[in-house]
Amino acid sequence: MAKDQLMKIEIPTDKISSRERYLEAIVQSAIDYAIISMDLDGLVTSWNEGARRVLGWDADEMVGRPATAFFTLEDREQGIPQREMTAALSQGRGSDERWHLREDGSTFWASGEMMALRSDDDTVIGFIKILRDRTQERQQADQQRLLMLELGHRMKNTISVVQSIATQSIRNAASLEDAGEKLQSRMSAYASAHDILLQKNWVSATLGQIVNAATINIGLEGSDRVRIEGPEIELDPQAALSFSLVLHELFTNASKYGALSESNGHIEIAWTIEAREGEDFLISSWREVGGPPVAIPTRKGFGSRLIASSLNSYGTATTDYEPDGVVVTTAMPLSRIQFEKT
């Protein structure tokens, strides 16, 4: 057994030494760490200020109670606390990173160590558990993983858009030179549109500009295969970016599976302003016409979830799979999407 890894304490006496008082002061001042001691039955024998701050219970609420109280039900059912004690005895410590419970029932991600407490004669007299709240680091790691997944998805869609631009440019070109010029101009427009949307100092854009940028991205600017109708509406930056991503998804799906995958298919994009219950709403629709037969998908991919979550965050959105093509309709209060001039 790795005795050098085990924490030893003195058996309590009537007289507490200054060294013990000093050690107690250190434990109580470690407010970023929950430091909890237990007896051999796993009952709490001490509970520092850090434990109160991290876990929520006061010391008088926890002393004498099972330390399993701050483990999740799933972990208790799987015997995780007992495994940690066994590891502390056999290996010197039991380390873990897992979700734990607070007094209010909320969960937090913590890194922890369970160690055996030994007296001077090397007898095991209990255990000590040290926890630190790592929720923020876990959330940042999860967010980074999500961003990487989204980046991968965006890259795949970008490749699809580039392929579509190249196909459209070559298919409708009068010559190889004409194809090269169209391809170059469309790729330049595609890059410029995304630069505008992603610039930090971008102030606003109109819905018409966003729709036109999306048609450029797909290589259909000026084409009668995309029919656009609606008044000028100025959007705030976040709404404009959301609309851009949604249109990106819709155009990509239409090119792969919908109306734009057929030579005679086209898209109708329309929007208007309506007064509802004393507030102005943007009412918009995306309608695919002349595409292949449409069936309700058996599963929703990332793109479908992105469309739904982006649109519903500003109002209501419905997607109908009509026989002639997909139809997406929205109703959004202007106050939630419109650029506010100062």
| Model confidence pLDDT, tens digit, residues 210-223 | 898 888 878 888 88
Token representation of residue 206: 């109109």
pLDDT at 195: 64
Beta-carbon contacts of residue 160 (< 8 Å; ≥ 6 apart) = 252, 255, 256
Whether 167 shows a pLDDT value over 60: the answer reads yes
pLDDT at 7: 43
Q: End-to-end CA distance of the chain: give it in Å, rounded.
A: 70
SS3 of the chain: helix, strand, coil, percent, to 5: 45, 25, 30
Whether 95 shows a pLDDT value over 50: the answer reads yes
130-139, 154-163, 316-325: lowest mean pLDDT where?
154-163
pLDDT at 147: 62
Judge contact between 169 and 183, C-beta under 8 A: yes
Torsion sign across C-alpha atoms 182, 183, 187, 188: negative
pLDDT at 15: 44
The residue ranking higher by pLDDT, 53 or 193, is 53
Whether 137 shows a pLDDT value over 70: the answer reads yes
Average pLDDT of the residues in 11-29: 52
pLDDT band at 240; cut points 50, 70, 90: confident
Judge contact between 274 and 280, C-beta under 8 A: yes
Its pTM stands at: 0.46
Tens digits of per-residue pLDDT, 41-71? Answer: 889 998 888 889 889 999 899 999 998 899 9
Nearest to 306 by CA among 211, 241, 260, 254: 241
Token representation of residue 12: 């309590």
pLDDT at 6: 40
Average pLDDT of the residues in 160-168: 68
Residue indicated by tokens 């030494």: 17
Mean pLDDT of all residues belonging to the chain: 79
**Cα–Cα distance between 93 and 88 in angstroms, integer?**
4
Whether 78 shows a pLDDT value over 70: the answer reads yes
pLDDT band at 271; cut points 50, 70, 90: very high
Q: Is 228 helix (H, G, I), strand (E, B) or coil?
A: strand
What is the percentage of the chain residues whose pLDDT exceeds 70? 76
Whether 184 shows a pLDDT value over 60: the answer reads yes
pLDDT band at 270; cut points 50, 70, 90: very high
pLDDT at 316: 93
Whether 19 shows a pLDDT value over 70: the answer reads no
Whether 192 shows a pLDDT value over 60: the answer reads no
Token representation of residue 36: 């909890």
Token representation of residue 260: 């734009």
